[in-house]
């Protein structure tokens, strides 16, 4: 069975702090895809990144970076120099074998000024 665990329910930081959101996944498949989505209070799920299981290179996009480690089944997300606009719920998700996203329970990030 596939499963995504986001152990951090809520994180509070002050603006300009760095913050890492953890994601641990479970699957027996060798081919799979991992995603991160951001959900602001408006409700829309905003796509942030897609990574396939054969590409373990870390990725950086502006203040966002992702660390994919197959050895620990983790796909962690770091925001550098956080801003108030980063406040949202962040979801990690997994797809294996069929176009069905398996989501974690999400981490609520609160960035205060």
Partner 1 sequence: ETGVTQTPRHLVMGMTNKKSLKCEQHLGHNAMYWYKQSAKKPLELMFVYSLEERVENNSVPSRFSPECPNSSHLFLHLHTLQPEDSALYLCASSQDLSPGGFGNTIYFGEGSWLTVV
Residues that bind partner 1 (CB under 8 A): 32-33, 35, 37, 42-47, 50, 52, 91, 95-101, 103-105
Nearer to partner 1 by Cβ, of 54 and 113: the residue is 54
Nearer to partner 1 by Cβ, of 47 and 112: the residue is 47
Nearer to partner 1 by Cβ, of 1 and 98: the residue is 98
Cα 48 to Cα 9: distance, rounded to the nearest angstrom: 19
Nearest-approach distance from CB 112 to partner 1, in angstroms:
24
- Beta bridge pairs of residue 106: none
CA dihedral of 30, 5, 77, 29, whole degrees rounded to 10:
0
- Going by the DSSP 8-state scheme, the letter that residue 6 receives in this structure is -
């Amino acid at each position: 069975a596939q499963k995504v665990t986001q152990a951090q329910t809520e994180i509070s930081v002050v603006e300009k702090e760095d913050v890492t959101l953890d994601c641990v996944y479970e699957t027996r498949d060798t081919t799979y895809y991992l995603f991160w989505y951001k959900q602001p209070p408006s409700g829309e799920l905003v796509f942030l990144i897609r990574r396939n299981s054969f590409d373990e290179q870390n990725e950086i996009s502006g203040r966002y970076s992702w660390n994919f480690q197959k050895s620990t089944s983790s796909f962690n997300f770091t925001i550098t120099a956080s801003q108030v606009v980063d406040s949202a719920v962040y979801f990690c998700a997994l797809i294996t074998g069929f176009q069905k996203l398996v989501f974690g329970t999400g981490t609520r990030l609160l960035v205060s000024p």
